[in-house]
Structure 1
Amino acid sequence: MNNIILFIITLFCWSPTWYLIKFQLGYVDPLVSVFYRFLIASFIIFIFLIIKKEKLQFSINQHFWFLFFGICLYSVNYVFFYLSNTYLISAFPAIVFSTVVIMNIVGETFYFKKKPSIKTLIGASIGMVGILIIFNDEIFNFSFSEGTHLGLFLALIGTFSASTGNMVHQRNLNNNFPPIQTIAYAMFYGSIVTLVITKFRGAELLFETSFGYISSLLYLSIFGSIFAFVSYLKLLEKVGPGRAGYVGVVMPVLALIISTIFENLEWQYDLIMGLPILIIGAVLVINQNMKKTK
């Protein structure tokens, strides 16, 4: 599938999750909802694999890497971003997550000896300029008062965890791990780790039967988890973690567009000026193929 198409599918599946997560807040502890989300997603993928009669038995070593991948990408990063949201305004964790493209480029260079192309570096730089323009007010008026420094630190840990998950998945691909089975087991293990964390936090295992909670949970499980992650990790396989991470740069902007539609967000000049710059950077970064390691 074309890189741009994979990029667009990932964006359109992931971007609404920032808004729909609001329907998960309230009666049920948010981390319990994260547990439900990835447990449901893993079960759906396992059912698909069973119907297709795909291989489901793997070695202990492979299960270790499934677990490591799941902890990084489907558990710990969500835990830290949830905690960071208790200290930061909602837009700021999204800004912090946009640094995943830089972390991925550094990680890809360090772990896999793949130097980013000039085109990638130029595109990433242009994209970060777009982010600075769009979120200039939040960035330049940032204050370390009232625990915001702790929120920033937690969001950075969450971003680093997600980037580490990208590196682990690239490592698994390099060792011929089947991608869909890897995602299924990783989501299952990640959900269990999240459940353990919620129990340590003293959260009750509750469930809400409202239409808003159930419908948003199903979207987050099916589109926000299965379709989004399968498309994103396929993109990672084709272009590498450095360029695939650019999804995290563009996604906050689409989330703002969704807020415009459903939450009456007013567009300012910084958003109008920064968005085209961000899109130019995205096209430069994503529309490439990964060079093989020599």
Structure 2
Amino acid sequence: MGPALAFIMCVLIWGSTWIVIDSQVGIVPVAWSVAYRFAFSALVLVAMCRIRGISLRLRRGDHVTVILLGIFLFSTNYVLIYFGSAYMTSGLVAVAFSLLSFLNIVNARLFLKTPIQPAVMVAALLGVFGLVLVFWPEIANLGNRNDTLIGVGLCVVSTLSASFGNTVIASEPAQRLPLLSLNAWGMAYGALANSLFAAVTAGTPVMDTRWTYWLGLTYLAIFGTIFAFLIYMWLVKRIGLARAAYIAVLMPLVALTLSTLFEGYVWTLPAAVGMALVVTGNVIMIRARRNDA
């Protein structure tokens, strides 16, 4: 698999999860749904490691790495984004999460000493500004709800947590570990953190007997979590943290396309211009990668 195909697969998978997540809201508290998702994913990854003969043994220092990965990327990130979504529209959530492209550039510089490349920064700027145009009607109504700022705050902190998790992925200790075992341990620790949080905030576990809930959970665990993160972590290794994070800019456009097909979304001129800016940013990102090769 080449980097281009891996990039597209991550965008398509994560872009489609926004619709599936709706099936997880209702009977089961959000905190428990997140805990179930990562516990399911961790168990499947452990089974995959056993089948393929991949060792799950870690050195003492490696546990620090996977604990940080679990807390930042597979726990705090998801819990806050789920709760933040309750206070704001999906468009605003998408714009907030697109800040990942900036935060990854900054954190890679601070923690990994990676130089900031002007072309990558320009691409990130175009991408975020393009998303602002796409979702401008929702942004223009930002002040109509007093609790929207709570949602914005939760989603921004969630994105910052995701960026810290991304930085852990790109660190030397994480790069030494096999992808399957790295994900298995990270998701196991994430599931543990999520379960503790759910127990404190939502009480005892709640089950949903609807087949749609479990079908959605299976899709999110297998495709949206296991496959997507394995591909993403491989992609970070190949093209770097900053470029891989541009996936966060393109994901909302996939969700918007699905909304056009199934929910009757109507495109406006600002949205079309915004889409053009996002595509332009992606082209700049790709050309920058080629120039480095």
Fold match by TM threshold 0.5: yes
Counterparts of 1:70-219 in structure 2 under 5 Å?
70-143=70-143, 145-172=145-172, 176-219=176-219
Per-residue CA deviation, residues 138-193 of structure 1 (Å, 9 max, x unaligned), is 22332174222221111111000000000011114566122221111101110110
Counterpart secondary structure, 2:156: helix
Give 1:270's aligned residue: 270
CA distance in 2, matches of 1:280, 1:90: 23
| Cα RMSD (Å) | 2.0
Deviates most, 283-292 or 87-96: 283-292
Q: Aligned in 2, Cα 1:175/1:223: closer, same or farther, shift over 3 Å?
A: closer
CA distance in 2, matches of 1:144, 1:83: 19
Matching residue's letter, 1:2: G
Q: CA deviation at 1:291?
A: 7.1
Give 1:285's aligned residue: 285
Q: TM-score, normalised by structure 1?
A: 0.93
The gaps in structure 1 that reach 5 residues or longer are none
Give 1:10's aligned residue: 10
Q: Is the 8 A contact 1:87 1:147 kept in 2?
A: yes
Q: Is the 8 A contact 1:120 1:243 kept in 2?
A: yes
Q: Is the 8 A contact 1:244 1:286 kept in 2?
A: no
Q: Aligned in 2, Cα 1:145/1:22: closer, same or farther, shift over 3 Å?
A: closer
Per-residue CA deviation, residues 253-288 of structure 1 (Å, 9 max, x unaligned), is 111111222222222222222213212212322461
Q: CA deviation at 1:90?
A: 2.5
Q: CA deviation at 1:206?
A: 1.6
The gaps in structure 2 that reach 5 residues or longer are none
Give 1:34's aligned residue: 34
Counterpart secondary structure, 1:87: coil
Q: Is the 8 A contact 1:123 1:281 kept in 2?
A: yes
CA distance in 1, matches of 2:145, 2:23: 29
CA distance in 2, matches of 1:266, 1:187: 38
Give 1:246's aligned residue: 246
* Consecutive aligned runs of 4 or more in structure 1 exceeding 6 Å deviation: 289-292
Matching residue's letter, 1:116: I
Per-residue CA deviation, residues 187-209 of structure 1 (Å, 9 max, x unaligned), is 11101100100111033312222
Q: Is the 8 A contact 2:65 2:174 kept in 1?
A: no
Q: CA deviation at 1:242?
A: 1.1
Q: TM-score, normalised by structure 2?
A: 0.93
Q: Is the 8 A contact 1:134 1:270 kept in 2?
A: yes
Q: What is the total number of aligned residue pairs between the two structures? A: 292
Per-residue CA deviation, residues 220-261 of structure 1 (Å, 9 max, x unaligned), is 011100111111111111122111111111111111111222
Q: Is the 8 A contact 1:173 1:179 kept in 2?
A: no
Q: Aligned in 2, Cα 1:65/1:128: closer, same or farther, shift over 3 Å?
A: same
CA distance in 2, matches of 1:50, 1:180: 10
CA distance in 2, matches of 1:228, 1:279: 22
CA distance in 1, matches of 2:184, 2:174: 18
Deviates most, 70-79 or 202-211: 202-211
Q: Is the 8 A contact 1:29 1:203 kept in 2?
A: no
Q: Aligned in 2, Cα 1:83/1:291: closer, same or farther, shift over 3 Å?
A: same
